Each structure stands twice: as C-alpha cells, then as structure tokens.
Chains A and B, each alone.
Chain A
Amino acid sequence: MSARRYATCGILAVAMALFLVAGAFAGNDRSGAAAANATSAAAAGKQDEPAQRIEGERRFRANCGRCHQAPHKFPPRMMATIIRHMRVRATITDEDMRLILQYMTQ
C-alpha cells in the first residue's frame, strides 16, 4: 500500500470519526433535554404506570420488531444483558433501551 493511499485512508478515518463525535456532542444539549424529559416522564410514569407500559411496548415493537418476532419476557438480569447486546447489535438509542428494559422487566 503506497504512502499516499495510507495517508488518505488515515485522513478519511479521522474525518469520519471527527464528524461522528462532533455530531454526537452537537446533539448533546438536545439529547440532554430529551433525557431530562425522559426522566421527568419516568417520574410521572410512577403515577401513570399504564402509560409508561404502553410507551415501553411501543418502543419494543418499533425497535425489536424491525428484525425479529417479539420474544417472550426473560428474567430481569437476563433481560439487562440481552438489551445491552441489542443496543450494540441493533444500534438502538439509550432512551429506547431504558424504556424497553422497563417494559420487559415489569
């Protein structure tokens, strides 16, 4: 591999990573607000558990159903591992992961 191609690939990789990291942090404020909303929603959800369950099920159907049929529920500690695996495999968001885990362990 020539030095020029090597350098080009390196620059491309750096540029791509910069874009992704910067883009992620550019959305940090918005996502922070979203997380705050989610937290307040979770607090409100204690008073309105059916609504929280419906939201969890909606996220579950939308995310998990993209690839496979809905599985039955697993024990909580097992589900925590599976949802971490699915976060990596299916690139589901942090908020979706939290709501799906809540729904699947209720």
Chain B
Amino acid sequence: MIALASLAGLLRRSRKSNSQERINRRWAAGRLFRAILPAGGYVVALALLANPAAGQDQTQELNFDNIKPVPVFTTGVGFISTFQGGTPHLGPLVSPVILAPLGRNWLIESRDTFESDLAPPPGGSGFKGVLKKEVDYLQIDYIANPYLTVTVGRFLAPFGIYNERLYPIWIRDLQSDPLILPIATGPSGAGTGAMLRGGFSLNPRVEVNYATYFSTLSTIKRLDSNRDAGFRAGLFLPGPRIEIGGSFQHLLQDDHSNAFGFHFEWQPASTSLDLRSEYARSHNGSGYWIEPAYRLANAPIWRHELRHVQMVARMQQFFMGTQVDGDLPGIDTNMFEFGLNYYFRDDIRFVSSYGRQFATGGNENIWTMGLTYRVALPMGHGDVQ
C-alpha cells in the first residue's frame, strides 16, 4: 500500500512537472522496448518513467562539475600454475576492461577475457591448450537518478556477490572458483537483456542495494546466455560494515526452475579482516562457501614486511541436486583451501594456496601459485584542465 501510494504521488508530480508530449514520448519508447524485449520491455519502460529530471537536479548538486570523466582502459593480468591431483596446469589470463563515459549520466563498459589452461597431453610431453575468448560483459549504463541505473546489453548475472564483484583475477583472494559459482549464473556467468539497479540510504545507518534483470536466450558463441529473470537485494550497514542480502532467479526456459541464494560480508573497521560467504540452491545442487581473509597490517613484529601479507582460508561444501549440471561437481564435494598472498603494491601480488578436496570419487590436493597484476590507464588527459 505504501508503495502504491508513493507511486500515485510520483505520477501526480510527473503530471505537474512534465508536459503531456513528454509523457507520450516515453510511452512510445516503452512500446518500442516491449516489442524488442517482450518481458524486459516492461521493466525498461518503467525505468524511463522514473523522472530522470529529478536525477539531474541531484547530479548538479555534486561537486565534480569541473571534473570531466575520461575513458579508461584497465586490464587484469595473471599467470597461475596449478597442480591438481598431481597434474600441472599453467593458466595465463588477460582480462581487458574499457570504460567510456558519455555526458553526465552514461557509461559504456566492457570486459573480455582471454585465457588458456595449458596441461601435458596424456602420454605426451610439454604443455598444450587452447585459447578461450569470452565477452564477460558489454553494457550501456544510464544513471537515471540517485536511486536507479538502467543497464542494457550483456551484463554479469547479479546472483550472489562472487560473480559480479569478486571474480576478477586481481580481486579474488583465492584463485579457484567457489564450487557453487555456476548456480544461477548461466553458461557464461552473464545475461543478455536489461537490468535495473541502484543503491540508496534508508538512513545514516542502513543502505539498500538492489539489482533486477531479465535476460534473453543467446546461443551466439562467446555471447551465450540463458533466458531468465531475477533479482538481488542487499542491506549494507556502514557502521559495522556488514552486508547481508539474497538473490532469486527464475529460469524462463527448459524446466522453468528456480534458484535462490544468500550472501553475507563483514569487514570490521578495527581490524584487517574480510569475511565473505554465500549460499546458493537450485535443482542442480546446493552449497555454501565461507572465506575469511586477514591482512597482517598490525603484526607485532616485522610490521614493515608483514603488512604486505594476507592469509586466506575458504571452506565450502556442495551437495548434488536432482539434475546434473556439467559445470558443477558430479558428486557431493567438500573442500578446504588455505592461501598466502603477498602484495608488492596494491596492484601487483604473489598468490599461493593449498587446498584439499574431499569427494566420494576420491580425494585430491590442489596447489596454486602465481602472480596477478592490474593496470589502469586514462585514454586522454587524466588531470583536470
């Protein structure tokens, strides 16, 4: 009822502040979107009705009118060697990102990944593998107002926190993916369609963030995605630095199944601890991971050296569902990992980890070691003229 009353107020304000022709144009735009994206069109049309003029007023209050954003090129580079079950793998990876701002409220962004898994062929010598190429995302963002951003294109599926926030090689503290990552993220971790998202403060102690999306089926190589719809919502408490949230997805193809999940993050201000965890469940399986990471910033001895060191651990379990997904483990699996990272700078680090996987088909050790690097460059003058 509150939402409906607020919507009525919104419509009244719109009538006062906008001409009828303007409203008609927006409805025409809405009809066009409905023709292109049958279900997602409704969402985008409503987003356009969210009175961007109000957002512009807010934007003009910001104090960076004289800072004109410049396109940015940034790349994550890594070389990770893995020993899994006694077999060595070499994993080079390059992941370029391009950010192109347009005007005050637009942003075009894309990320591609080029990687390979080089391993000795059976009975042979040397390392062989193929180069895998993927468009992770290629999206246009429109910041409609302080509460709403409209995204169209290919985007990372906002299910849980790992796929969208923690996946890049220079961000992740452990180089292996969580076992439950493929749940509800589709064949490529991305969707193709439209998304509404944003974050705003309820009060000084609580912030809300949300993302809701519709993705259409795509079988194009390197741009594949499922037809599905879903949302994620989270509450962030800036004081204790805690975020809790949940995700839901409904598959609009095949067996029309549902998936849901929860996430929790905590970074206490008094110490250099990061605690992250996720739970996810679908008909393909369910599971969770818990990952604490601690930076030795306040070590009592050798502080100058130890402040570059980060210790990480991850415990996770996966339980099979009623249907088998090729990207998920084929059997119930438990796994524990411990990692040690050394930050030469904030953008260059040495990473290493040891993990033990326990499964009914056999247990195995997993060792990783490598380097990750992130570079960011302005494509123009970076300083204010």
Tell me which of B9, B54, B69 contacts A80 (CB under 8 A): B69
Q: Are A1 and B252 in contact (CB under 8 A)?
A: yes
Q: Are B61 and A35 in contact (CB under 8 A)?
A: yes
Interface size on A, residues (CB 8 A): 63
**Given A12-B229, A69-B343, A85:B99 Cβ within 8 A:** yes
Q: Are A20 and B148 in contact (CB under 8 A)?
A: yes
A17 within 8 A of B: yes
* Minimum CB–CB distance for A47 against chain B, Å: 15
- Report chain A residues within 8 Å CB of B109: 85, 88
**Given A67-B165, A76-B384, A98:B63 Cβ within 8 A:** yes
Q: Are B67 and A62 in contact (CB under 8 A)?
A: no
Interface string of A75-104 (1 = CB under 8 A from B): 111111110110111111111101001100
B367 within 8 A of A: no
- Report chain B residues within 8 Å CB of A16: 43, 212, 231
B40 within 8 A of A: yes
**Given A62-B238, A71-B346, A6:B171 Cβ within 8 A:** no
Interface string of A48-80 (1 = CB under 8 A from B): 000000000001011001111111101111111
- How far does the alpha carbon of A101 sit from the alpha carbon of B34 in the complex, in Å? 37
- Report chain A residues within 8 Å CB of B265: 66
Interface size on B, residues (CB 8 A): 87
- B197 nearest CB neighbor, chain A only: A91
Interface residues of B in 119-165 (CB under 8 A from A): 141, 143, 145-149, 151, 164-165
- How far does the alpha carbon of A92 sit from the alpha carbon of B236 in the complex, in Å? 10
- Report chain A residues within 8 Å CB of B236: 66
- How far does the alpha carbon of A101 sit from the alpha carbon of B69 in the complex, in Å? 12
* Minimum CB–CB distance for A12 against chain B, Å: 7
- Report chain B residues within 8 Å CB of A90: 165, 199
Tell me which of B42, B211, B234, B346 contacts A69 (CB under 8 A): B346
A22 within 8 A of B: yes
- Report chain A residues within 8 Å CB of B212: 13, 16-17, 20
**Given A69-B343, A87-B149, A91-B199, A74:B376 Cβ within 8 A:** yes
Q: Are A82 and B72 in contact (CB under 8 A)?
A: yes
- How far does the alpha carbon of A47 sit from the alpha carbon of B198 in the complex, in Å? 32
- How far does the alpha carbon of A93 sit from the alpha carbon of B61 in the complex, in Å? 14
Q: Are A76 and B382 in contact (CB under 8 A)?
A: yes
Q: Are A89 and B42 in contact (CB under 8 A)?
A: no
Tell me which of A13, A22, A89 contacts B6 (CB under 8 A): A22
Tell me which of A9, A27, A59, A96 contacts B147 (CB under 8 A): A27
Classify the secondary structure of A's interface with B.
helix
- Report chain A residues within 8 Å CB of B234: 91
Q: Are B67 and A26 in contact (CB under 8 A)?
A: no
Q: Are B203 and A75 in contact (CB under 8 A)?
A: no
Q: Are A93 and B207 in contact (CB under 8 A)?
A: yes
- How far does the alpha carbon of A67 sit from the alpha carbon of B171 in the complex, in Å? 7
**Given A23-B3, A84-B107, A78:B42 Cβ within 8 A:** no
- How far does the alpha carbon of A16 sit from the alpha carbon of B42 in the complex, in Å? 10
**Given A75-B383, A80-B101, A94:B146 Cβ within 8 A:** yes
- Report chain B residues within 8 Å CB of A25: 6-7, 9-10, 50, 147
- How far does the alpha carbon of A9 sit from the alpha carbon of B214 in the complex, in Å? 10
- Report chain A residues within 8 Å CB of B171: 67-68
* Minimum CB–CB distance for A2 against chain B, Å: 10
- A98 nearest CB neighbor, chain B only: B62
* Minimum CB–CB distance for B52 against chain A, Å: 12
A44 within 8 A of B: no
- Report chain A residues within 8 Å CB of B196: 17, 20
Q: Are B147 and A24 in contact (CB under 8 A)?
A: yes
**Given A21-B49, A31-B201, A78:B382 Cβ within 8 A:** yes
- Report chain B residues within 8 Å CB of A19: 3
- How far does the alpha carbon of A68 sit from the alpha carbon of B349 in the complex, in Å? 13
Tell me which of B149, B211, B214, B346 contacts A70 (CB under 8 A): B346
Q: Are B380 and A77 in contact (CB under 8 A)?
A: yes
* Minimum CB–CB distance for A44 against chain B, Å: 13
Tell me which of A13, A34, A79, A102 contacts B42 (CB under 8 A): A13
Interface string of B52-72 (1 = CB under 8 A from A): 001000100111100111111
